[in-house]
């Protein structure tokens, strides 16, 4: 099913697509029982390609989004929570039953790749597959810096920051941390972050004293 950008709320016999009218969304779906839901007041642009069955792409954010989503498998989920903005990211899901879930109020910079799979197999000498990809979980209020890579089977907990040019390769369950580097490690604990520029926030705090 190829949908032009002007369509909205289209239910055909095979897929359910609820996307805003006249927005910059390019979408192509091959398969059945896929569910795509994007709020009517979404901003920015999206390119969506789904090949497979029973997949879900659920966008709850109405903030600026510049996002490319590729799902090439079945029963996978990609979710972007309320209040999250994304200046340039690509989400790729290639393994059945896997998911990329991004919480609320996150801030993604540009040139970010999130992959739920290595796309090709690593096997042991007997041929047993060693690198099955499952989920990527990003909590609430997480800031991902520029040029980051987030790979399969990873987690970034609430209120955390990923430093620029980092490669996140494992689960970080501890909230309020800065993780950075390749492979990313915790470089600071007990932090929080705000969207304002540091000098503006400092001025605001000094004026309030
Ligand atoms: C990660 C970041 C937030 C850290 O800022 P900070 O709190 O001032 O941290 P510091 O500069 O004190 O660095 C702490 C440690 O992490 C290391 N570090 C910081 N950023 C790093 C990075 N991107 N990769 C690897 N190590 C990094 C520092 O070398 C330092 O190591 P040390 O303790 O061994 O000396 C900042 O470096 C960053 O990457 N910001 C992202 C900016 C961005 O992408 N903006 C785009 C607009 S959304």
List the residue whose alpha carbon is closest to atom 39 of ligand 1.
163
Does ligand 1 have an atom closer than 6 angstroms to the CB of 165? Answer: yes
The dihedral over CA atoms of 24, 107, 36, 101, expressed in degrees to the nearest 10, equals 160
Q: Show Cβ contacts of residue 183 under 8 Å, excluding neighbours closer than 6 positions.
A: 167, 168, 169, 170
Does ligand 1 have an atom closer than 6 angstroms to the CB of 109? Answer: yes
What local confidence, expressed as pLDDT, does residue 10 receive?
Answer: 54
Task: Read off the pTM.
Answer: 0.94
User: Using one digit for the tens of pLDDT, what is the confidence trace for 107-165?
Assistant: 999 999 999 999 999 999 999 999 999 999 999 999 999 999 999 999 999 999 999 99
Of 53, 47, 57, 140, whose CA–CA distance to 90 is shortest? 47
Cα gap 63→82, rounded to integer Å: 8
Helix (H) or strand (E) holding 47: strand 43-51
Does ligand 1 have an atom closer than 6 angstroms to the CB of 164? Answer: yes
Cα gap 33→23, rounded to integer Å: 23
What local confidence, expressed as pLDDT, does residue 130 receive?
Answer: 97
Q: How far is the CA of 163 from the centre of ligand 1 (A)?
A: 5
The domains of the chain are located at 8-208
User: Using one digit for the tens of pLDDT, what is the confidence trace for 167-205?
Assistant: 999 999 999 999 999 999 999 999 999 999 999 999 999
User: Using one digit for the tens of pLDDT, what is the confidence trace for 40-69?
Assistant: 998 899 999 999 999 999 999 999 999 999
Mean pLDDT of 67-74: 98
Superfamily for domain range 8-208:
Hexapeptide repeat proteins (2.160.10.10)
List the residue whose alpha carbon is closest to atom 13 of ligand 1.
187
Cα gap 159→192, rounded to integer Å: 6
């Amino acid at each position: 099913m190829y949908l032009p950008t002007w369509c909205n709320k289209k239910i055909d016999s095979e897929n359910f697509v609820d996307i805003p009218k006249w927005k910059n969304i390019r979408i192509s779906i091959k398969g059945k029982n896929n569910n795509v839901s994007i709020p009517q007041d979404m901003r920015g642009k999206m390119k969506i390609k789904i090949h497979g069955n029973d997949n879900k792409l659920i966008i709850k954010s109405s903030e600026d989004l510049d996002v490319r989503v590729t799902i090439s498998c079945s029963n996978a989920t990609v979710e972007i929570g309320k209040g999250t903005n994304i200046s340039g990211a690509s989400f790729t899901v290639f393994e059945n039953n896997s998911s990329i879930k991004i919480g609320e109020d996150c801030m993604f910079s540009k040139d970010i790749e999130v992959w739920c799979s290595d796309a090709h197999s690593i096997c042991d000498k007997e041929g047993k597959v060693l690198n099955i990809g499952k989920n990527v979980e990003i909590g609430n209020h997480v800031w991902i810096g520029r040029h980051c890579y987030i790979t399969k089977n990873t987690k970034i907990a609430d209120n955390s920051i990923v430093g620029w040019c980092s490669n996140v390769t494992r689960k970080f369950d501890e909230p309020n941390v800065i993780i950075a580097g390749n492979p990313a490690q915790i470089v600071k604990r007990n932090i929080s972050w705000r969207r304002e520029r540091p000098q503006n926030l400092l001025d605001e705090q000094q004026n309030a004293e």
